[in-house]
Chain A
């Protein structure tokens, strides 16, 4: 009310004070409503999701015990020998890890290429027609919403066990995700260069190469690096369903309670993801910086 004080007395001042009070009442009512619906959603989710704090507290120490199981006793005075024993399968795991990275690389390339092609009919400003737009959007949504692990199970049925199923599954899911992001980048371009080319009689291919790509490429590349980081994680677990990479080895070790092996593989996976993320982030930053200049 303090802000209305100087106007007090005059009719307009009173009208203003009244409107301000009404506005504030409405706003506080709205925030009470929002808080109430949020609280209801949390409560509902806690009940439906079986969120039981007592069970959680009872279980949490077991997370520590489990993580402890993953690392064998390492004596400081025999560290190298103990590490050597822990990593008895180092060369095998390293080869599997290399395959996993290669799977992520191939799947990212295939998915991004497919997404790039699909992004033109799926961009509202570049699509040849509303029907093409609608169909390509729905197909991209389908590819994006189905998790790669589900595609992998179907592809294992068709192509047999092994990395081919995993590559195709990750590629298809990436195609959906990349297609959507690329299409959004396409929709945000400046249309003037395109109109200029069109006025000069350029073909649709020339319009894309000379007017669209120079504007969207830095964004596309940045999305592709980011997708590669995501796909490296996916490739490490796609083996759970027999679709290649280090995942099968990890899954078997966990299932058969070879905890030392599982721990060794998990440490390798985490370190690899660390390294890939760092390298990819640095490259992404440099490319975006180059684009801004």
Chain B
């Protein structure tokens, strides 16, 4: 009896959602048409449909053929050094960014900072950190701390603090309230409630986001050298600037191997840590 009414209710809810959730089909068609028109306009404006694109294709084939035997292996020690610097930059930048993002993330979450005006301010602050690209922050920090990887570390850390604070705060806002209420009902203090009610729920999520940013930052760090912020990007942009594409392709190959290795390590760590995290959450 009860199951039947629940089923009827579910169907009613579904029907209501279907009716109200869909935008007007004509409006949708119109929006799609406008998007396609804008795409065609953009393609014409940027010469994608036109002579410039067609004229460039043979030159692109030339560039590709110039890359083919990767050359310059005598520079390998120097390049490996620079690559190690890049990997170290990404690691340190992510670490510092993550450390800064923990308090900022709690300050950005509605359920841990109930003062709405303050929470809104912190969120906008985090947004402003991540609204400018790594490369722009790298220029700022090259001016402040000089040429070299330290500027790159700081650029990555600043953007990451903003991005991770946003991701952490979303994880914190999406927690199940019951464990928190349970902890409070036993007379736990506010820090104790966070430690035993909240942290076990969000920690696996936070670790996963951090590892994801680590992978992404390794890719970003490979180009920061273009503005003098250390790492392999300097060698790469230098080779590309004089169109020594043979040597550039060797460097790109090295970058691919490094990025691939970091992705593998990160995936492995994610499996180990997050399974551990989940079992810790179950235990707590």
A residues engaging B (CB < 8 A)? 41-42, 44-52, 55-56, 58-60, 62-63, 66-67, 99, 102-103, 105-106, 109, 141-142, 144-147, 149-150, 153-155, 157-160, 162-164, 167-168, 233-234, 236-237, 240-241, 244, 250, 254, 266, 269-270, 273-274, 277, 289-290, 293
Contact = CB atoms under 8 A, between A and B. Distances in A.
B33 interface: no
B84 interface: yes
B259 A44 contact: no
Interface of B: 14, 17-18, 21-22, 38-39, 41-43, 45-48, 52-53, 55-57, 59-60, 62-63, 84-85, 87-89, 91-92, 95, 127-128, 131-133, 135-136, 139-141, 143-146, 148-150, 152-154, 219-220, 222-223, 226-227, 230, 236-237, 240-241, 243, 245, 252, 255-256, 259-260
Given A51-B92, A237-B133, A66 B46 contact: no
B143 A150 contact: no
Contact of B260 (A145, A157, A277): A145
A270 B84 CA distance: 32
A1 to B, nearest CB: 17
A141 B257 CA distance: 11
A44 B59 CA distance: 43
A45 B59 contact: no
Nearest to B47: A164
Contacts of A146: 252, 255-256
25 contacts: A44-B88, A45-B91, A45-B92, A46-B92, A48-B87, A49-B89, A49-B149, A49-B152, A63-B144, A66-B143, A102-B41, A144-B219, A147-B222, A149-B135, A150-B222, A150-B223, A157-B59, A164-B56, A167-B46, A233-B131, A236-B136, A237-B133, A241-B226, A270-B132, A290-B22
B84 to A, nearest CB: 5
B244 to A, nearest CB: 11
Contacts, number: 180
B256 A142 contact: yes
A105 B39 contact: yes
A150 B60 contact: no
A158 B63 contact: yes
B166 to A, nearest CB: 10
Given A145-B259, A164-B47, A167-B46, A62 B144 contact: yes
Contacts of A154: 60, 63, 240, 245
A240 B151 CA distance: 18
A55 to B, nearest CB: 6
Contact of A150 (B95, B146, B236): B236
Nearest to A101: B42
Nearest to B55: A159
Given A41-B91, A244-B46, A274-B131, 14 more contacts: A44-B88, A45-B92, A49-B230, A51-B149, A59-B145, A102-B46, A146-B252, A146-B256, A158-B59, A160-B52, A163-B45, A240-B227, A241-B226, A273-B131
A34 B237 CA distance: 37
B92 A49 contact: yes
A277 B127 contact: yes
A263 B143 CA distance: 15
Contact of B153 (A49, A67, A150, A168): A49
B92 A160 contact: no
Contacts of A59: 141, 144-146, 150
Contact of A269 (B132, B141, B245): B132
A-B complex: 10 closest residue pairs judged by Cβ atoms? A59-B145, A49-B88, A159-B56, A48-B88, A158-B60, A293-B17, A62-B144, A45-B88, A106-B42, A158-B59
